[in-house]
């Protein structure tokens, strides 16, 4: 019996000891975890480590999941090339380039991935995990401008550079621009400027346009830009209707168009939304109609091959713009299509292209700056002029971190030769035609130190 | 004799509120240490654990005690967040007014919603709350865009007035960050602030569970008609419980905005309401600690499991031969990364089917099994006579 008693008291004593220890640890905690201070050091400095980690934050679920999947492929390819594996892709055609195929600044590149779920909250949570846990030196991704803007403002707070992927809203490098955010992709204003003359030529100056618009920053700015362009041509805007992202069924928005007197439908939709709304518009017989004595037309200002694939025959003859298309014949585009095709067996989308280019541009900027210290890398990117990346001569404008380059006006191919040959380039609009003054959208970049 | 005395004492001790609170606080505040082996010791996820902990504790006061299944609690979370961000924009970057205002605002919303929805019970109540929350979501998403900034989410801008802050200092370069009298509320300090708030509201919920008010709520759950026959008007009690849990949700929303000043409409979506129900059921409905366990499990899955990619899996299985490694990777990759929803779904099904009391019940069962096993084993070695008593005890 006395044995048992001893055991019991022992257990109790042990518990008290553990509890006491835990208390002591709790008390000492603030000393372990003090926030890193900005001085000469910076967050997630790889220091002497052999590896450097990049974070790829992409939509793996939601309306933009297809784009996200292709972006991830491109990121993996970029990491391979940076580490000197594969055929080097665009590293061979990029000019100027300081990339040597030995990682970035001699450190091997590794990466972590995250799912933005096409939601700002989830994207920020995922970005925070990458920065706080995985210690990434740069993160990139996108597919929704709302998400990109949310991540970009977080990048500024955290002091980690964000290289935006597919984001087309004017706000990303306009009123919501940030010193730590960079965009290679073109924007809604450029789409409008490029599309204008072609629309005039194809459809004349006397048209009534009806807009269906994805209800968030990208949709709003694209609607505004396209409206400005078409109204300058002399078109009339019948009505603009906002639709929720990921709605799935657009029939309730399409029926009113039939009696609105409009003879052009402009779909400011992207991803699965655009596939659904276009398919339903065609099913409702809009394209077979005659209104005001003219053929009814549909325009999709922002096009992508992935969407064209999803929409099938419905996209034939429909006009839009893209940032890049795999059928381009320049050396850069050819090199990228070749190395992407070798690894994955099909040509890349424009989302893949912009993400790949962004990763290489960041790596090159680090090499040129000779450091990972963000303010220096930012300065290396600002005003940087480069060529050979598939879009011709390109410049990262210092005032708003927007890339300026040629824009493609495309049309759904009437007679595709393969299942990927879906877009036909109508016109390669020169950079000078889509350029604008950085001050028209307002916004402030903010300080170099986050 | 003494052994028995000690045993009773220990049990009594564990029933003592003070002891519970001390143990609970220590466990919560040491999270950054004991979460290390799980790869979850970084500020953002720790903040999410405690903030959604507040949300789930509040939800449990309604669902756990009265059995009223609300499908619309995310609306209060969203209202709290929007209120807090507006307070940061208009008044001050200090989180105190923001949090107080968000609790008050969500309380007002809860009174309105509860007044209507509590006229019905059971499935009708759930549908009414769901409808109300979806209404709020759609308002925030498209109708009230000047207030909520729609899908993009409400964010701070440099040009915001911030009346109170401007009284004391000039606007600095770049966006200001949220503070608690000079302490930045992001990162680890944000976690500790939220953790202290959670410990306080946990204590309040503990008090409610043990009070006569809590008892009445439990009585409503077991048989509301009988309560009415006894002359009790149950509505005021239900409404109070509803408003309290709504305010908890608003508090959680305010804390979310305090640690990261951004409010998006998706916080109000029905999936967000569903999430807190999952958390509560997964952990254990009506128990004090269950919902917190549920929060940790779900947030862990959402943040850590969803980030595992094939590369990680390959390195995990690298000890196996290549063919087996590839097979294992292709099987497990279904359950991690973008497949984390599936893993969570399976876990949820298993819990509902085999452990209706949630993970907490599972833990209690294993603990009981373990202790009886240990005592049996001990009795076996202790000789014939003790073995007999041991068996009797087991029965």
Mutate to test the interface with B, among A125, A214, A450 (most CBs of B within 10 A): A125
Contacts of A421 (CB under 8 A, 6+ apart): A327, A413
Q: Burial letters for A365-402: b for 16+ Cβ neighbours within 10 Å, e otherwise?
A: bbbbbeebebbbbbbbbbebebbbbbbeebbbeeebbb
Q: Are residues B321 and B179 in the same domain?
A: no
Inside any domain, residue B261:
yes
Q: Is residue A292 less than 8 Å (CB to CB) from chain B?
A: no
B277 and B322 assigned to the same domain? no
Q: Could you tell me if residue B33 is inside a domain?
A: no
- Which range of residues forms the domain containing residue B317? 307-354
Same domain, B190 and B110: yes
Angle (nearest 5°) at CA B359 between B353 and B361 = 85
Minimal Cα–Cα distance from B44 to chain A, Å?
A: 6
Asked if residue B30 is part of any domain, the answer here is no
Whether the per-residue pLDDT at A113 is higher than 50: the answer is yes
Residue range B48-75: mean pLDDT, rounded = 93
Answer whether B175's CB lies under 8 Å from A157's CB: yes
For B330-359, the pLDDT digits (tens) are: 888 778 777 788 888 888 899 888 888 888
Q: ipTM, 2 decimals?
A: 0.78
pLDDT for B10 equals 64
Dihedral angle sign, alpha carbons of residues A376, A377, A381, A385:
positive
Residues near A2 by Cβ (< 8 Å), separated by ≥ 6? none
Residue with tokens 């029933």: B15
Q: Which residue of B has its CA nearest to A29?
A: B30
Tokens of B300: 């862990």
Q: Both B233 and B344 in a single domain?
A: no
pLDDT of residue B6: 58
- Distance (Å) from the C-alpha of residue B107 to the closest C-alpha of chain A? 24
Which pTM does this prediction carry? Answer: 0.82
Position B326 in a domain: yes
CATH code at B100?
1.10.3470
In terms of domains, do B218 and B266 share one?
A: yes
- What are A119-145's pLDDT values in tens digits? 888 888 889 889 988 899 999 987 788
CA distance A295 to chain B (A): 33
Residues of chain A contacting residue B264, judged by C-beta atoms under 8 Å apart: 119-121, 150
- Considering the domain architecture, whether residues B287 and B311 belong to the same structural domain is answered as no
Closest residue in A to B378 (Cα) is A4
Question: Could you tell me what percent of chain A has a pLDDT over 70?
Answer: 91
Q: Clarify whether residues B103 and B209 are in a common domain.
A: yes
Based on the fold, state whether residues B214 and B319 are members of the same structural domain. no
Q: Name the nearest CA neighbour of A90 among A392, A402, A395, A390.
A: A390
Whether B272 and B337 share a structural domain:
no
What integer pLDDT is reported at residue B395 of this predicted model?
36
B19 domain residue, yes or no: no
Whether B10 maps to a domain, the answer reads: no
Within-domain flag for B276: yes
Mutation site for B-interface testing, chosen from A11, A15, A53, A121 by largest number of B Cβ within 10 Å: A121
Give the count of domains, chain B.
3
Residue A120 has its nearest CB partner, among B6, B29, B153, at: B153
- List chain B residues with CB under 8 Å of A444: 158
For residue A181, give the nearest of A44, A372, A358, A59 by alpha carbon.
Answer: A358
Question: Cis peptide leading into A96, omega within 30 of 0?
Answer: yes
In a domain, B346, yes or no: yes
- Are B78 and B163 members of one domain? yes
Asked if B227 and B177 sit in the same domain, the reply is yes
Looking at residue A114, what DSSP letter applies?
Answer: E
Domains of chain A: 51-186+326-405 (3.40.50.2300), 189-322 (3.40.50.2300)
Residues B299, B313, single domain; the answer is no
Tell me: pLDDT of A55 over 50.
Answer: yes
- Band (pLDDT 50/70/90 cuts) for residue A30 is very low
Alpha helices in chain B, H assignment, sequence order: 2-15, 17-29, 31-34, 43-66, 74-90, 95-117, 122-138, 145-148, 163-168, 187-210, 212-229, 234-259, 270-283, 290-303, 310-316, 322-332, 340-354, 358-381, 384-394
């Amino acid at each position: 019996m006395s044995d048992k008693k001893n055991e019991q008291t022992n257990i109790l004593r042990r518990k008290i000891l553990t509890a006491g220890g835990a208390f002591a640890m709790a008390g000492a905690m603030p000393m372990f975890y003090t926030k890193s201070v900005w001085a000469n050091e910076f967050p997630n400095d790889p220091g002497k480590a052999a590896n450097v980690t990049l974070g790829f934050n992409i939509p793996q679920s939601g309306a933009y999941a297809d784009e996200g999947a292709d972006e991830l492929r491109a990121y993996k390819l970029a990491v391979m090339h940076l580490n000197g594996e594969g055929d080097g892709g665009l590293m061979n055609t990029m000019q100027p380039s300081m990339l040597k195929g030995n990682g970035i600044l001699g450190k091997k590149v590794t990466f972590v991935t995250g799912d933005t779920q096409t939601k700002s909250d989830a994207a920020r949570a995922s970005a925070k995990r990458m920065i706080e846990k995985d210690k990434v030196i740069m993160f990139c991704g996108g597919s929704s401008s709302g998400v990109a803007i949310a991540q970009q403002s977080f990048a500024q707070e955290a002091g980690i550079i964000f290289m935006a992927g597919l984001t087309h809203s004017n706000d990303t490098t306009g009123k919501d621009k940030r010193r730590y955010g960079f965009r290679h992709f073109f924007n809604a204003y450029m789409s409008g400027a490029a599309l204008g003359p072609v629309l005039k030529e194809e459809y004349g100056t006397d048209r009534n346009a009806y807009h269906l618009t994805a209800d968030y920053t990208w949709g709003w700015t694209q609607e505004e830009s396209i409206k400005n362009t078409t109204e300058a041509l002399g078109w009339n805007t019948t009505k603009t209707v906002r639709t929720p992202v990921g709605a799935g069924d657009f029939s309730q928005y399409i029926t009113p168009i039939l009696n609105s007197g409009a003879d052009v439908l402009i779909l400011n939709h992207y991803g699965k939304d655009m596939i659904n709304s276009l398919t339903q518009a065609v099913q409702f017989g809009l394209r077979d109609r005659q209104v005001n004595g003219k053929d009814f037309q549909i325009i999709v200002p922002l096009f992508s091959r992935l969407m064209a694939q999803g929409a099938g025959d419905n996209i034939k003859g429909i006009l839009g713009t893209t940032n890049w298309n795999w059928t381009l014949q320049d050396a850069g585009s050819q090199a990228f299509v070749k190395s992407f095709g070798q690894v994955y067996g099909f040509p890349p989308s424009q989302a893949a292209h912009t993400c790949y280019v962004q990763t290489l541009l960041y790596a090159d900027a680090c090499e040129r700056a000779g450091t990972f210290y963000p303010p220096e890398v930012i300065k290396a990117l600002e005003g940087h002029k480069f060529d050979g990346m598939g879009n011709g001569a390109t410049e990262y404008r210092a005032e708003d971190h927007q890339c300026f380059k040629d824009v493609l006006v495309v049309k759904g191919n009437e007679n595709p030769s393969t299942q990927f040959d879906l877009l036909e380039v109508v016109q390669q609009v020169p950079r000078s035609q889509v350029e604008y003054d950085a001050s028209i959208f307002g916004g402030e970049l903010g300080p170099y130190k986050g | 004799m003494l052994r028995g005395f000690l045993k009773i004492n220990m049990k009594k001790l564990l029933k003592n509120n003070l002891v519970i609170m001390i143990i609970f606080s220590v466990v919560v505040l040491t999270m950054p240490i004991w979460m290390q082996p799980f790869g979850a010791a970084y500020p953002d996820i720790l903040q999410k654990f405690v903030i959604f902990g507040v949300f789930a504790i509040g939800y449990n006061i309604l669902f756990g005690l009265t059995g009223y299944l609300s499908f619309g609690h995310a609306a209060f979370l969203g209202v709290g967040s929007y209120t807090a961000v507006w307070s940061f924009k208009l008044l001050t970057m200090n989180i105190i007014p923001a949090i107080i205002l968000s609790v008050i605002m969500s309380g007002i919303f809860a009174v309105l919603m509860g007044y209507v929805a509590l006229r019905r019970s059971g499935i009708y109540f759930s549908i009414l709350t769901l409808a109300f929350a979806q209404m709020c979501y759609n308002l925030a998403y498209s109708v009230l865009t000047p207030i909520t900034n729609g899908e993009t989410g409400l964010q701070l801008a440099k040009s915001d007035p911030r009346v109170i802050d401007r009284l004391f200092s000039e606007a600095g370069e770049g966006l200001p960050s949220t503070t608690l009298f000079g302490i930045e509320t992001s990162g680890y300090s944000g976690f500790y602030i939220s953790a202290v708030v959670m410990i306080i509201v946990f204590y309040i919920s503990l008090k409610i569970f043990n009070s006569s008010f809590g008892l009445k709520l439990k009585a409503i759950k077991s048989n509301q008609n009988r309560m009415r026959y006894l002359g009790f008007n149950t509505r005021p009690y239900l409404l109070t419980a509803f408003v309290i849990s709504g305010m908890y949700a608003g508090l959680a929303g305010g804390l979310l905005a305090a640690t990261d000043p951004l409010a998006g409409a998706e916080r109000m979506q029905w999936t967000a309401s569903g999430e807190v129900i999952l958390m509560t059921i997964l952990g254990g409905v009506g128990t004090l600690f269950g919902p917190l366990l549920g929060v940790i499990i779900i947030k862990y899955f959402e943040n850590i499991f969803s980030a595992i990619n094939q590369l990680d899996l390959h390195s995990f299985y690298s000890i196996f031969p290549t063919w087996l490694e590839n097979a294992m990777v292709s099987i497990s990759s279904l359950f991690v990364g973008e497949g984390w929803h599936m893993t969570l779904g399976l876990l949820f099904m298993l819990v509902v089917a085999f452990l209706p009391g949630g993970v907490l019940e599972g833990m209690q069962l294993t603990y009981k099994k373990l202790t009886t096993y240990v005592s049996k084993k001990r009795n076996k070695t202790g000789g014939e006579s003790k073995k007999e008593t041991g068996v009797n005890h087991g029965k």
